[in-house]
Chain A
């Protein structure tokens, strides 16, 4: 890898973390899906306490 210029380095340090947001959105989607599967598919499927 060729060394970064100071300008390029500064640009990276100041850039918004797009990849991080994308990863966290993916995590949030998986979390919500997992929760919904457990809530609707397992918890409610048990029915009321008898």
Chain B
């Protein structure tokens, strides 16, 4: 095995990601059962909010960050055919992030950080939670530096050559994350940490929510990036075809990098401290960020159509049945795109300034982000893991049948969970509640949907355990796989040269800088010009 490919580092990152995922999935089952009201003996607001905070942090920050890092290190070294820029620093990023996770997990599991994954003040956590979060973010920044430096080093040795698409995507994600995480980093370092340490007595909630909104939407794309990169660069080959268009991938990655950061105020539509005009500006940006997802949907489905037709599929839709559905990445991507369609529909409702009032702070919102994250992102992460595992471990997947069962169970479980969740939102059930012990006809109408969600969560938990089982048994006792070369999809038309904006990011960083100043400049500065009032801490 070639050490330049960094398989040990990638595997270490992926194991942390999927261990966190398993724990989070089981906590999710507890939350759904607790909320259902079917088992009064387990109802406990303290346990519920500790569980929901841990679930959110493990899924939203730990699974994703380690997945992004593991995927990035491995695909960077294999696509560029060069070693890591700084191997020791890359391992340092892993250990820093892991120590951060363990610190945060201690605070979460002991009930000292039941502040939900958004950790909005005036909910206040133990300082260890914020210190853990800082270490995790710093670890991810080192990963960003590795990606950027690897691309720069590669370009210097091959002037004018197109950067491989997979690496172009990794660097777009790294740059986007550096921009996006600055908001939450400022919030934690200058507000929440001093506040939790007792250095300051109160915190400006409006400023904190504005800084978190800076990060909150872009983080979704930080999660999505490896999934999209895999769709463009691994899936077409796994499906036995070609990528429909390489430049289309670059345009999508650039648009995701530039547009996804300056649009966070759709999370603040109902908050009073930002002006309507700024919210409207962010709303237009939010609709624009649908464009790269539509471009991706088109390019990937077109690539699959080519694959299906090359394998004998005919007619308008006959190519769908001809695709190699026994290939885990193909099934994961197909199911993931299906759930993305549903999640995208919900997102358009959320993003609409007026219609947002219909679903704001209701169960619709977690239903929506579970379809996008738990549906699309998680499913494609599973597909990536199954695709990379034989390359990383040198062993084949032990039971392909169980792999497919796991993917289908997850998709069905997510639909059975998330669809009633949306419906509950339309029926007016608020989100962020542990139970609804009110004897009213409205609450009674929620019960069938909550019961249905319990079945969905059971399927999801079973699938999560099966994923872990598949990965462990494949690595421990799968058949030896001598072919550890990771091959990437070839585009239909080979890319021999590219205009500079499609092969680098300088101009896009400038555009993003100006957009960020316009989108967040005055909305942040106003807190230092106007009289605002600090809030004292609340605890669950």
Tell whether A and B belong to one assembly: yes
Chain A interfacial positions (CB closer than 8 Å to B):
1, 4, 9, 12-15, 17-20, 22-24, 27, 30-31, 34-35, 38-39, 42-43, 46
Evaluate contact between B349 and A38: CB separation under 8 angstroms: yes
Evaluate contact between B355 and A24: CB separation under 8 angstroms: no
Q: State the majority secondary structure of interface residues on A.
A: helix
Evaluate contact between A19 and B317: CB separation under 8 angstroms: yes
Evaluate contact between A17 and B312: CB separation under 8 angstroms: no
Asked, given contacts A12-B306, A35-B348, A46-B358, whether A22 binds B317 with beta carbons under 8 Å apart, the answer is yes
Q: How many angstroms between the C-alpha atoms of A9 and B242 in the bound complex?
A: 11
Chain A residue numbers with a CB within 8 Å of B317 are: 19, 22-23
Which residue of chain A is the closest to B322 with respect to CB atoms?
Answer: A1
Chain A residue numbers with a CB within 8 Å of B345 are: 30-31, 34-35
Q: How many angstroms between the C-alpha atoms of A36 and B302 in the bound complex?
A: 28
Which residue of chain B is the closest to A11 with respect to CB atoms?
Answer: B309
Instruction: Write the nearest CB–CB distance from A6 to chain B, whole angstroms.
Output: 12
Kindly state whether residue B195 has any CB partner on chain A within 8 Å.
no
Contact with A along B307-329 (1 / 0, CB 8 A): 01111100011011000000000
Asked, given contacts A1-B311, A13-B492, A31-B348, whether A43 binds B319 with beta carbons under 8 Å apart, the answer is no
Chain A residue numbers with a CB within 8 Å of B306 are: 12-13, 17
Kindly state whether residue B89 has any CB partner on chain A within 8 Å.
no
Which residue of chain A is the closest to B354 with respect to CB atoms?
Answer: A43
Q: How large is the interface on B (under 10, 10 to 19, 20 to 34, 35 or more residues)?
A: 20 to 34
Instruction: Write the nearest CB–CB distance from A15 to chain B, whole angstroms.
Output: 8
Q: How many angstroms between the C-alpha atoms of A33 and B358 in the bound complex?
A: 18
Which residue of chain B is the closest to A49 with respect to CB atoms?
Answer: B357
Chain B residue numbers with a CB within 8 Å of A15 are: 309
8 contacts between A and B (CB under 8 A): A12-B309, A14-B492, A19-B316, A19-B320, A20-B302, A22-B316, A42-B358, A43-B358
Chain B interfacial positions (CB closer than 8 Å to A):
242, 244, 294, 297-298, 301-302, 305-306, 308-312, 316-317, 319-320, 341, 344-345, 348-349, 354-355, 358, 426, 492
Which residue of chain B is the closest to A34 with respect to CB atoms?
Answer: B345
Contact partner of B341 (CB less than 8 A), chosen from A12, A27, A38, A46, is A27
Evaluate contact between A38 and B311: CB separation under 8 angstroms: no
Evaluate contact between B301 and A24: CB separation under 8 angstroms: yes
Which 6 pairs between the two chains have the least Cβ-Cβ distance?
A17-B302, A1-B312, A20-B302, A20-B301, A12-B309, A17-B305
Instruction: Write the nearest CB–CB distance from B299 to chain A, whole angstroms.
Output: 9
Q: State the majority secondary structure of interface residues on B.
A: helix
Instruction: Write the nearest CB–CB distance from B245 to chain A, whole angstroms.
Output: 10
Instruction: Write the nearest CB–CB distance from B494 to chain A, whole angstroms.
Output: 12
Q: How many angstroms between the C-alpha atoms of A35 and B312 in the bound complex?
A: 37
Which residue of chain B is the closest to A39 with respect to CB atoms?
Answer: B355
Instruction: Write the nearest CB–CB distance from B234 to chain A, whole angstroms.
Output: 19
Q: A19-B320, A22-B316, A24-B294 are in contact. List 11 more A-B contacts (CB 8 A).
A: A4-B310, A12-B310, A17-B305, A20-B305, A22-B317, A23-B301, A24-B297, A35-B348, A38-B355, A43-B354, A43-B358
Q: How many angstroms between the C-alpha atoms of A13 and B302 in the bound complex?
A: 10
Instruction: Write the nearest CB–CB distance from B375 to chain A, whole angstroms.
Output: 16
Instruction: Write the nearest CB–CB distance from B28 to chain A, whole angstroms.
Output: 26
Asked, given contacts A12-B309, A35-B345, whether A20 binds B358 with beta carbons under 8 Å apart, the answer is no
Q: How many angstroms between the C-alpha atoms of A24 and B426 in the bound complex?
A: 27
Instruction: Write the nearest CB–CB distance from B538 to chain A, whole angstroms.
Output: 28
Instruction: Write the nearest CB–CB distance from B304 to chain A, whole angstroms.
Output: 8
Chain A residue numbers with a CB within 8 Å of B309 are: 12, 15
Q: How many angstroms between the C-alpha atoms of A39 and B514 in the bound complex?
A: 35
Evaluate contact between A43 and B355: CB separation under 8 angstroms: yes
Q: How many angstroms between the C-alpha atoms of A42 and B362 in the bound complex?
A: 15
Chain A residue numbers with a CB within 8 Å of B312 are: 1
Which residue of chain B is the closest to A27 with respect to CB atoms?
Answer: B341
Which residue of chain A is the closest to B312 with respect to CB atoms?
Answer: A1
Q: How many angstroms between the C-alpha atoms of A46 and B317 in the bound complex?
A: 40
Which residue of chain A is the closest to B244 with respect to CB atoms?
Answer: A17
Which residue of chain B is the closest to A38 with respect to CB atoms?
Answer: B349
